[in-house]
Structure 1
Amino acid sequence: MHRTLTDIAKEYDVVVLGSGAGGMSAAIFAALQGADVLLVERTEYLGGTSAYSAATTWIPLTHHAATVGAEDSFEKVAGFLDRAVGNRSPRAMREAFLRAGPNVVAELERRTEVRFRPRPFHPDYLYELEGATPCGRALEPEPFQADVLGNTLKLIRPPIPEFTILGGMMVDRDDIPHLMAMGKSLKSAVYSAHIIGKYCLSRLRYGRDARLLMGNALIGRMLAAALRLGVDILTETETVALEATGSVVTGLTLRQDDTTRRVSARGGIVLATGGFARHPKMRREKLPQPVPELSPSAPGHTGALHDLAFELGAYHGEDAAQPCFWAPCSHRRRPDGTMAVFPHFVFDRSKPGIISVGRDGRRFVNEATSYHLFGAAQFAANRDGSHIPAYLIADARALAKYGMGMIRPGGADIRPYLNDGYLTAGATLDELAAKLGIDAEGLKDSLARMNRYAETGVDEDFGRGTTVYDKANGDPAHGPNPTLGKLETAPFYAVRLWPGDIGSATGLVGDENARLLRRDGSVIEGLYACGNDLQSIMGGVYPGPGITVGPAIVFGAIAGRHAAARAGAAPRSQAA
C-alpha cells in the first residue's frame, strides 16, 4: 500500500526505484516470486513518462500475434533487429529480450490485472528492412476502468493536457471518430454521450478521469496488481545513497521531507528512474548541440541515481547511434504559465498538404518517417543553425482537415494560436516566409515540387509514402499517394518544430539478467537496471512502435525475478 517513510519496514527483499512501466514490472514480478517489495518514486505521481505515453509495447512472438494473423518467428525478428541495430547493442541482450518477452506478457495477463491487445495493422517503423512485419509485435494496453483503485487513482501521473479534451478526458484512436461524428450519427452520439458521462462522474468522484487509456491504463493496471500483491509504495521520496558491503549492494538511504531512513535490500535494488536526460551536466555532455531546452517527457528522470551507481563501478554505454530517442516538438505557454511541449508523433507530418522545411525554405527529410528519425534529421541538417527550429507548413485546406500540432482537426478556432504566436499565417508564401524569416524562393520552390509530386504520387526528393509505415500514417482516402498533397489554398500556415528527447538510449551497461556491470565485465551484485536506466538494446535506433516500453517491461521482469531469487523468496501460487 502507499506509505510514508516512517512506517515502512527496515528490510525488504527487493527495492525498486522508479515507477514507470519498467519499475512497476520489476516490483510486480519480484512480488509474484514471493518477495517483500518496496517501490520508491521521487515525484508526487506514479508512472513516469510511461503514464504520458501511448504505452505501445513492442514485444514480439507473444500469444497475441496469432490473433491478428502475424507471420513471425524468432529468426525473423532477430534478423530484423540485427539489420536495424547491428553492433550498436550486444546481440545477446536482444536475444534475451526476445526469449523472455512472450512469457512475461503471458504471466502478466494470467496472474495480474494487466491486459494487452494487438492491432490488425501496426507496422514496424523501419519497414524497408527485411524481417519487418505489419502487425503482431506492437501491443497496446486495454483501457482500464480504475474505480477499483479508489483514491489511489490520484497517484497516477495525469496525461499531457493537450492530449485530452474537456479539461482532462482521455481519448484514444477508437474514440476520435465517434467524437467527430457525434452530430451526424446516432451510434456515435450514443457512444460519445456514454464516455463523456462517465468522465463527468469520475471528475465529481475522484477529481480526474477514471477511464484510463494508453499509458495511464498500463500504469493503472500495474498499480492495481502491485497493490494486490502487497508492494509497499513511497512517493516524493529521494534516494540519497546506495550502500555496499564489500562489492555487494546491500541497501540504500531514503529521504522523505525531513525524515531519513536506511533500508536493507536482501536481494537487490532495481534502478528504473527513467534515465539521465534531465541531469544538467550529463545533458550538456551527451546530447547534441544545440541541447534541447524542453522535453515532453515526465520530470522525474534526473539521472541522480546514475551518479550513485557510478560510485559503485557502473558505467554508461558508448555505442548508441543516438544518445536519446527524439520527436519533433512544438511549444506553447498555457494559461497557468506552464509550458506545453507537444510531440508531433503521427497526426500531422505525414498528411497530404503538409511539409517541413528549414530556414532555407527547403525540405530536408521524408516528413512521414518515424518521429525519432525526423528529430535526428533536424540535428543532422542543422550544421549552420538553419533547421532548429524547422517549420511545419500547411495550406488552409490541410490545416482545417488534419489539424497541426496542438490545433485539432476538423476546423478548430485558430485565433488563439495566431494571437500567441504558436501558429503563423501568411496570405501568400512571400508573407509567410517574411514572418518566419525563411527564404521565400526556397519555400515557393518546395511547394511547387510537392504539388507536382502530389499529382504523380512519387516524391522524387525523399521517397515519402513509399513504405507501409509511411502510408499507414497518411490519409487512406487520398490518392494516388496517401501522404502527398498539394499546398495551394491560401492562407498558408506554419508551426515551429524543435527536436525533443522522449527517452534516453544511453544508459548503464548490464547483462542478460539486468545486473549492472563494471568496465572489467564483473557484476555489481545486488544492483539492477531496466527501462531507460539500462543501456538500450535498440542502440539508439527506433525499429518499431513501443521499443522503449516493451524492453522496459521485460527487463524489469527479469530484474525483479533475479533479485527475488537472490533473496531466497519463495514463488507465490499461480492463482491470479
Structure 2
Amino acid sequence: MVETLAGLSGTEFDVVVVGAGGAGMSAALFAAIDGARVLLVESTEFVGGTTAYSAGTTWIPESMHMASVNPADSRSVAERFLDRAVGERSSAAMRRAFLEAGPKAVAHIEANSDVKYRARPFHPDYLSELEGSTLCGRALEPLPFDGRKLGGAFALIRPPIPEFTVLGGMMVDRDDVAHLLGMTKSFASLKHAVKLLARHARDRMSAPRGMRLVMGNALIGRLLYSLQRRGVPVLTRATVETLHVSAGRIEGVTLVQGDERRRVAVTGGVILASGGFNRHAARRADMLPGADPAWCPGAPGHEGGAQDLALAVGARFGEGALSNAFWAPVSVRKRADGTTAVFPHFLMDRGKPGMIVVDRSGKRFLNENTSYHLFGIAMQEAHRTNPSVPAYLVTDAEGLRKYGLGMVRPGGKGLKPFIDDGYLTEAATLAMLASKLGIDQTGLADSVARINRYAQTGVDPDFQRGTTDYQRANGDANRTGPNPCLGPITRAPFYAVRLYPGDIGAATGLVTDTDARVLDRDDEPIAGLYACGNDMQSVMGGVYPGPGITLGPGLAFAYLAARHAAARARAQSPERESSEKTQQEAHEQTP
C-alpha cells in the first residue's frame, strides 16, 4: 500500500488526491469505490492530518443515523438554521449542495467501506440560540476501530496529541472519560474501565501505543483500512511540484519524493485536500496577523503549497468570511523531549463552574462558555483595546480537583512538574496569584467576587453565561444550583494557566462550484482541478454553527469531487462505458 515514487507502478491515474487528511482520504476512497485508479499523495510521514488529532465529529444533517436520535429534524430546518447562522458569508447554493450531498456521502461510504458512524445522543449545535438548531442528530462520530486490522500500516496513522491520551498512549473518548472518573462509584463504569485497561495492557506488549482507536484516529484508521483493502497506493513524504495544463485542463502532475521526481498523467482530475494555508508563512502573516504559529494545534503539513499551485493556474481565494480561520483557546507547554505541546481548551475546563477567564486588568471580557471558535475571536478582538493575549484561566483548588486545568488532569495530583516549568501558576491567595501572573490584583479580586455572587443567583448579568443549551451542556450537569456553568472560587490555593488564540483550521480557501471544481477568476471551472476540506473555501463562511462543521463539508465535497473526477476519467475511455454504467447504477441505488 505504501509506495515509493521509484517503485510506483503505472504512469497514469484517473484521480490523484493531494493530502491524506480526513477529506483527502475520503475523496480517494470515494473515487476508488467508483472504480477509478487512484493515487494518494501525502507530504508528511503520517496520514490523518489534523483529523487524526480531532474528535472525528462530522456534522451531516438528515443522515441515515438521524432518525435514531432526532426524527423530527429535516434538511429544510437545517438549511434555515445555516441561513441564519452564516447568511451572506457563504454561497447559499454551496450550502444547499452540502446539505444534499452529505446524507448521500454517509450512506455511500458506509455501504461500500469499513467507515461507520453513529449519531451522538446529545451533542448540541454551538449556536443553539438560533431557530433551527438541534440538540442531537446532526453530529456523527466514527465507531471505535481495532488498529490491529491494519497490520504494519498501523504505523502510518498520525498518533493523537499525547496530552489527550492516558497511561502511555491509551486513547479515550468522552464516554471512556466518564467511566474512568466514575469507576469507584458504579459497577458498570468499573467494568468498562477494567476492559479498557486490560486491552491497553495487551496492546502495549506489541505496540508503542494503544491500538484501540477512537475519535479522529478511529476515522482515519477506518479510512486507511478501506483504502488498503482496495489497493490504493499511498505516497508519503511526497509533494506535487507541478500541475501540468494542456488545452485548458489539468492533464498531469510532477511528483517529488526525496531525490526522486516523476511525472504521471491524470485522466479524471486532481483533488486538492492538503489542509489549507495555516502554515504558509507569507499567507499566514497576511491572513492571520498577530497569531503566532506556535499557538496552532493543527498537525504539520498544511503549508499551502497545493493552493499555490492552484493559484498559479488561475484559481482564486474566497472572500467575505467572518474569519479566515477557525479558532480555539490553547495553552502551551514545552515537553521533556523539547517539542511543544499545544492543548486546545474545547470543553473540559473553561466552561465548568468555578472557572473564569480574565485579561491583564484582571477583568472578565467574554462568556467562558461560548464556543471555542467565538472564544478565540473574542480574545483577538478584546486584545485590540486591552491586553487579552494571553488571557488567564483561573480556578481554585476545588475546580482543579474536579475538572483539571488544561494539561493538568482532574484529581489535583502531580502538580509539581507543571508548576516548576511555569505552565501552571499556583498561589495561596488571589492577590499573590495576580502578582505572579502580572495582572491587576484589584481587578481579579473584583472579578472573583462577582462570579461568586452570580454562582448564588445563577445569573451572569455581565456576559449571560449559561443561558443557551450549548453553554449549559458544557457546564456540570451534576452541579446542584441554579446554573450548571457558574460556581464559586473560594478554596485556596488558587491556580491559573495562560490562554492564547490558536487557529485550528482554515476557513478561507479556494473558490469552487457545487461539484467542488476549482473556479478561476472568471468563475469558470478549471477542468480537472478540484478542492475539498480546508483547501476549499468553507461553506460555513468562517462561522462555527455546530460540532464537526469542517469534517462534514469535507466528507460531502470529497464525495462530489471524487464522483465528478471519476466520471471524467470514464468518459476518456470508451472501453470503460460498461463500468461507468455500473457505477452510475450504484449511485442511484445509494439512499
TM-score, length-scaled by structure 1: 0.98
Letter in 2 for 1:352: P
State yes or no: 1:4 paired with 2:32. Answer: no
Select which of 544, 547, 550 maps to 1:545: 547
SS of equivalent residue, structure 2 residue 3: coil
1:500 is displaced (CA, Å) by 0.3
CA contact (8 A) 1:89 1:538 kept: yes
Q: Which residue of 2 aligns with 1:58?
A: 59
What is the rounded CA distance, in whole Å, between the counterparts of 1:397 and 1:425 in structure 2?
Answer: 13
CA contact (8 A) 2:291 2:502 kept: no
Letter in 1 for 2:546: G
Matching of residues 322-333 of structure 1 within 5 Å: 322-333=323-334
Letter in 1 for 2:384: R
1:185 is displaced (CA, Å) by 4.6
What is the rounded CA distance, in whole Å, between the counterparts of 1:82 and 1:183 in structure 2?
Answer: 47
What is the rounded CA distance, in whole Å, between the counterparts of 1:385 and 1:203 in structure 2?
Answer: 49
Q: Which residue of 2 aligns with 1:516?
A: 518
TM-score, length-scaled by structure 2: 0.95
SS of equivalent residue, structure 1 residue 432: helix
1:180 is displaced (CA, Å) by 2.5
Letter in 2 for 1:143: P
Letter in 2 for 1:279: H
Inter-CA distance 292–387: structure 2 relative to 1 (3 Å threshold): farther
What is the rounded CA distance, in whole Å, between the counterparts of 2:392 and 2:44 in structure 1?
Answer: 34
1:63 is displaced (CA, Å) by 1.5
SS of equivalent residue, structure 1 residue 205: coil
1:108 is displaced (CA, Å) by 1.2
Q: Which residue of 2 aligns with 1:27?
A: 28
CA contact (8 A) 1:154 1:208 kept: no
CA contact (8 A) 2:44 2:301 kept: yes
CA contact (8 A) 2:183 2:193 kept: yes
Letter in 2 for 1:481: N
1:143 is displaced (CA, Å) by 0.3
SS of equivalent residue, structure 1 residue 174: helix
Q: Which residue of 2 aligns with 1:437?
A: 438
1:418 is displaced (CA, Å) by 0.8
Q: Which residue of 2 aligns with 1:374?
A: 375
CA RMSD of aligned residues (A): 1.4
Letter in 2 for 1:554: A
Matching of residues 375-454 of structure 1 within 5 Å: 375-384=376-385, 386-454=387-455
Inter-CA distance 185–61: structure 2 relative to 1 (3 Å threshold): closer
Letter in 2 for 1:557: Y
Select which of 553, 558, 568 maps to 1:566: 568
1:385 is displaced (CA, Å) by 5.4
Inter-CA distance 399–193: structure 2 relative to 1 (3 Å threshold): same
Q: Which residue of 2 aligns with 1:534?
A: 536
Letter in 1 for 2:311: F
1:186 is displaced (CA, Å) by 4.4
Calculate percent identity across the aligned residue pairs.
Answer: 57
For 1:260-314, what per-residue CA distance to the aligned partner results, in whole angstroms no more than 9, with x for missing partners? 0001110000000000010000000001325453211000100011111111000
State yes or no: 1:491 paired with 2:523. Answer: no
Q: Which residue of 1 aligns with 2:203?
A: 202
What is the rounded CA distance, in whole Å, between the counterparts of 2:211 and 2:430 in structure 1?
Answer: 46
Letter in 2 for 1:472: A
Q: Which residue of 2 aligns with 1:84?
A: 85
Q: Which residue of 1 aligns with 2:573?
A: none
Q: Which residue of 1 aligns with 2:306?
A: 305
1:71 is displaced (CA, Å) by 1.9
Matching of residues 140-219 of structure 1 within 5 Å: 140-219=141-220
Inter-CA distance 73–189: structure 2 relative to 1 (3 Å threshold): closer
Inter-CA distance 185–83: structure 2 relative to 1 (3 Å threshold): closer
Q: Which residue of 2 aligns with 1:100?
A: 101
CA contact (8 A) 2:326 2:503 kept: yes
What is the rounded CA distance, in whole Å, between the counterparts of 1:481 and 1:355 in structure 2?
Answer: 15
SS of equivalent residue, structure 2 residue 277: coil
Gaps of 5+ in 1: none
The aligned length equals: 576
SS of equivalent residue, structure 1 residue 293: helix
Letter in 1 for 2:114: E
Q: Which residue of 2 aligns with 1:500?
A: 502
For 1:494-523, what per-residue CA distance to the aligned partner results, in whole angstroms no more than 9, with x for missing partners? 100000000000000000000000111111
